[in-house]
């Protein structure tokens, strides 16, 4: 059953629907929307609807395991924040729940600001699991090494980061491995370390991380960062202040 279809500020079709979907023995409201945290409905288990035969672990990090599969016939990535045995169980549960909630809300806020992120299909707060859209594309780290129009693509990245910061969204791990290109459009992933903040310093750290990522992986890093910076100030009125902070942050590093 198709629900209401509309377009977000990134120009993408978004479906918002409400139906009763059976999870185990309970009828649980099922809904997804990138627009606000209030529209998320947390299910008791995301296992219902997952095709176990198609599941494939694609990454294991310090915080989570990422599994690619299908969910209600949709290609998805399941992000599972695994328990940490070295933490007290109560503290561990609170931290994982808070980070799961924060990440899902940041992704929603980012889309509301016109920045492409994976759609969220379901959240299991009890298990700290997010089911999200699988993004078919190439990570920016590879795109910026290989494609002849890499400077234009770098500028596109800068414009989107500017939109994030204009909305007071700090990504927290802004590297070229956390940006996926679908054609000419960058999609931002992994907001697990992100937060809402008006602090220029934190936005400066975001841009510094991106500059460091370019420096470590790309021979034309100066030109690419210049293109990113040009795109950034195009969409963020306070961009010049943040770029000045990037220079200041670099200076601190040289003298410590």
Q: What is the pLDDT of residues 201-216, one digit of tens each?
A: 999 999 999 999 999 8
- Identify the architecture of domain 138-254 in CATH: Orthogonal Bundle (1.10)
pLDDT per residue as tens digits for the range 63-84: 899 999 998 889 999 999 999 9
Alpha carbon distance 48, 23 (integer Å): 6
Active-site residue numbers?
Answer: 173
Number of H helices, E strands in the chain: 6, 14
Element (H, E) at 58: strand 56-60
Contact between residue 48 and residue 24 where contact means Cβ atoms under 8 Å apart? yes
What is the reported pLDDT for 2?
Answer: 40
pLDDT of residue 41: 37
Is 4-133 a CATH 3.30.200.20 domain? yes
Q: CA-CA distance, 191 to 178, in Å (whole number)?
A: 9
Give the residue ranges of DSSP H helices in the chain: 89-112, 140-146, 150-166, 200-217, 221-235, 239-254
Q: Looking at the chain, which residues constitute the CATH 1.10.510.10 domain(s)?
A: 138-254
The pTM assigned to this predicted structure is 0.79
Give the residue from 128, 68, 72 showing the smallest Cα distance to 98: 128
* pLDDT score at 10: 52
Give dist(CA 15, CA 32) in Å, integer: 8
- Rounded to an integer, what is the distance from CA 243 to the centroid of its chain? 22
Query: Mean pLDDT of all residues in the chain?
Result: 83
pLDDT band at 217 (very low <50, low <70, confident <90, very high): confident
What confidence score (pLDDT) does residue 245 get?
A: 97
CA R_g for the chain: 19
Domain with CATH 3.30.200.20 in the chain: 4-133
Q: At what angle do helices 200-217 and 150-166 cross, to 10 degrees?
A: 160
């Amino acid at each position: 059953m198709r629900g209401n279809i509309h377009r977000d500020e990134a120009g993408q079709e978004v479906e918002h629907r409400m139906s009763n979907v059976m999870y185990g023995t309970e009828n649980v409201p099922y809904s997804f929307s990138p627009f606000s945290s209030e529209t998320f409905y947390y299910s008791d288990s995301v296992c219902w609807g997952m095709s176990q035969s198609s599941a494939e672990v694609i990454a294991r990090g310090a915080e989570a395991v990422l599994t690619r599969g299908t969910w209600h016939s949709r290609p998805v990535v399941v992000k599972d924040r695994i328990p940490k045995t070295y933490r007290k169980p109560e503290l561990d549960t609170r931290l994982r729940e808070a980070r799961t909630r924060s990440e899902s809300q940041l992704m929603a806020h980012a889309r509301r600001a016109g920045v492409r992120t994976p759609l969220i299909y379901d959240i299991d707060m009890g298990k700290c699991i997010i089911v999200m859209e699988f993004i078919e594309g190439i990570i920016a780290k590879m795109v910026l090494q290989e494609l002849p129009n890499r400077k234009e693509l770098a500028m596109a990245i800068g414009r989107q980061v500017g939109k994030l910061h204009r909305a007071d969204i700090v990504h927290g791990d802004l590297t070229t491995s956390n940006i996926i290109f679908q054609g000419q459009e960058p999609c931002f992933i992994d907001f697990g370390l992100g937060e809402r903040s008006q602090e220029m310093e934190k936005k400066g750290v975001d841009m510094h991380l991106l500059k460091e990522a370019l420096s470590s992986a790309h021979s034309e890093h100066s030109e690419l960062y210049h293109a990113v910076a040009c795109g950034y100030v195009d969409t963020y009125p306070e961009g010049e202040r943040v770029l000045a902070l990037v220079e200041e942050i670099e200076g601190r590093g040289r003298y410590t």
